[in-house]
């Protein structure tokens, strides 16, 4: 019977894999490791945050993502849009967006991360810019579909890229930095779009065209820069010394299942992900929480506008504290979650806070109380959306399965982006009972999924520690057992 051990047992500067008691201890300098992680943060986090900031900002600044401004700056009139064509244009982006996520992750290593991320970033910058010169509704739809096709691979690619450099005890915070970028975009995007809109009439062009053009050009430049800034993997990172590269290898070997072979792409790992019910459970939970992400980030200005008699600029300013609270809440939750290796607990707990917030928004309360509800929703928003995006890949030591699982999780989750624009209809203002009720229900569903997964994985860890799964590895060598990845009885799930 195996002893009950924590996920990592540390003796001074020596660490032992918890479920390989007979193995030689792995010697590591923790002071050097802390310096290495700081160096990784310096070279990786800023560019990764900028990439996702520009991605989310493109959607926030875009006239298509600011309900009410599309009419103000002439988009609907110029392109002859009628009825639900505005909502259709918003949602169609997600059709190609979700279809591109898994394929993009599968080819990330083939084309190398730096080149692939640079290509898709530059491409969406070009398309976003050219959207500003379309002359018809059909041209707008084509641009939206193309934009979704190239932009869809960015977030899953960045998440997968981070797993190449950071351990399971570090990944939630680093994924969290992406959501800090999203919060910054949410806080400033609408206000930026409002400011650019004052260029309406400059050089004879309507405001919405200037918004499209100006938002796309910086993205194009960032895409070119990322080609040279991003390293493809730790072994070829230009900013790491030989000793630091060796330390990166030790860090990887310290994690069970992270063998050299497991870090290569194998088709069999893709099939394993497609057959793993746990991956589908995470996909379902992601759909529920992402409904809140897209509904809240897109329609928060509309919700606040209907709480009182505010100008457009005042509405955008009132969204900023909500997003700031959301970002701060995530960073705090991610740090604690990484330290304790508990994902389900914090995902569910903060999800409950968001549910309470939506309950307040549905109620027939005063303006101030409902604005407080917006804060509660924001407080749990990024936690229940973001932590599971670190939780699933941290339980997939084999690269091919991790790439596929992460792509699937985001693909299913982003399907909610197709639905979200239709949840908040203008004639249902100011309370938007249907939109809030649907979102509340789906967030509650996500809470149930993540709570259940935490219990299931905890129970599986107990069975493995007690040796009840050891029959699966009878007569297998240590190398063969480790190659099993998360299917190995010696692998400890993060719960």
The Cα 286–Cα 411 span in angstroms is 9
The Cα 348–Cα 330 span in angstroms is 13
Low-confidence winner among 79-88, 154-163, 365-374 (lowest mean pLDDT): 79-88
Tokens linked to 482: 């480790």
Calculated CA dihedral for residues 99, 173, 459, 278, nearest 10 degrees: 0
Greater confidence, 182 or 437?
A: 437
Q: What is the mean pLDDT of the segment spanning 310-325? A: 84
Q: Compute the 3-state secondary structure of the chain and give helix, strand, coil in percent, each to the nearest 5.
A: 75, 0, 25
Closest CA to 35 of 233, 247, 231, 232: 247
The Cα 52–Cα 35 span in angstroms is 25
Could you tell me which residues come within 8 angstroms of residue 124 by beta carbon, excluding any fewer than 6 positions away? 55, 58, 147, 150, 151, 154, 219, 223
pLDDT at 128: 87
Strands 26-27 and 14-16: antiparallel
In 341-366, which ranges are continuous DSSP H helix? 344-362
The Cα 129–Cα 334 span in angstroms is 35
- Residue 92's pLDDT band (cuts 50, 70, 90): confident
Q: Global pTM?
A: 0.87
Instruction: Give yes or no for residue 69 having a pLDDT over 80.
Output: no
The Cα 312–Cα 324 span in angstroms is 19
Greater confidence, 445 or 304?
A: 445
* Mean of the per-residue pLDDT values of the chain: 87
pLDDT at 17: 42
Q: What angle do CA 241, 244, 247 make, to 5 degrees?
A: 155
Instruction: Give yes or no for residue 147 having a pLDDT over 50.
Output: yes
Residue with tokens 């004639």: 427
Residue with tokens 């206000």: 191
Tokens linked to 291: 């409904």
Instruction: Give yes or no for residue 76 having a pLDDT over 90.
Output: no
């Amino acid at each position: 019977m195996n002893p009950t051990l924590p996920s990592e047992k540390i003796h001074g500067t020596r660490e032992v894999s918890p479920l390989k008691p007979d193995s030689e201890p792995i010697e590591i300098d923790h002071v050097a490791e802390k310096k290495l992680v700081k160096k990784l943060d310096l070279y990786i986090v800023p560019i990764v945050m900028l990439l996702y900031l520009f991605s989310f900002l493109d959607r926030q600044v875009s006239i298509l993502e600011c309900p009410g401004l599309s009419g103000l700056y002439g988009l609907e009139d110029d392109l002859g849009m009628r009825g639900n064509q505005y909502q259709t244009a918003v949602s169609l982006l997600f059709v190609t967006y979700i279809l591109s996520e898994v394929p993009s992750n599968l080819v990330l290593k083939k084309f190398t991360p730096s080149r692939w991320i640079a290509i898709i970033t530059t491409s969406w910058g070009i398309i976003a810019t050219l959207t500003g010169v379309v002359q018809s509704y059909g041209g707008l739809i084509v641009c939206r579909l193309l934009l979704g096709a190239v932009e869809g691979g960015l977030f899953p690619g960045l998440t997968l890229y981070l797993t190449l450099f950071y351990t399971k005890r570090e990944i939630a915070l680093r994924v969290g930095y992406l959501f800090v970028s999203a919060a910054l975009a949410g806080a400033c995007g609408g206000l930026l779009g409002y400011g650019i809109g004052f260029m309406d009439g400059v050089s004879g062009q309507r405001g919405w065209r200037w918004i499209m053009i100006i938002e796309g050009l910086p993205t194009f430049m960032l895409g070119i820069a990322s080609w040279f800034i991003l390293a493809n993997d730790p072994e070829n990172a230009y900013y790491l010394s030989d000793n630091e590269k060796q330390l990166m290898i030790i860090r990887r070997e310290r994690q069970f299942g992270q063998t050299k072979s497991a870090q290569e792409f194998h088709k069999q790992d893709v099939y394993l992900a497609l057959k793993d019910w746990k991956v589908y459970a995470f996909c379902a939970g992601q759909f529920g929480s992402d409904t809140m992400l897209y509904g809240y980030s897109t329609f928060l200005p509309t919700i606040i506008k209907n709480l009182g008699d505010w100008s457009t600029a005042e509405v955008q300013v009132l969204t900023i504290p909500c997003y700031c609270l959301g970002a701060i809440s995530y960073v705090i939750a991610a740090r604690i979650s990484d330290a304790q290796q508990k994902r389900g607990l914090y995902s569910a707990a903060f999800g409950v806070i968001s549910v309470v917030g939506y309950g307040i928004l549905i109620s027939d309360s005063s303006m101030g109380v409902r604005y407080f509800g917006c804060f509660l929703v924001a407080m749990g928003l990024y936690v229940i959306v973001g932590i599971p995006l670190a939780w699933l890949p941290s339980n997939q030591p084999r690269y091919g399965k991790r790439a596929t699982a992460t792509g699937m999780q985001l693909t299913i989750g982003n399907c909610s982006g197709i639905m979200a624009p239709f949840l908040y209809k203008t004639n249902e203002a100011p309370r938007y009972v249907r939109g809030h009720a649907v979102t509340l229900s789906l967030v509650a569903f996500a809470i149930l999924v993540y709570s259940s997964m935490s219990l299931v994985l905890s129970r599986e860890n107990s069975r493995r520690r007690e040796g009840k799964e050891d029959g699966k590895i009878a007569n297998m060598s240590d190398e063969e057992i480790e190659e099993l990845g998360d299917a190995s009885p010696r692998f400890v799930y993060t719960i």
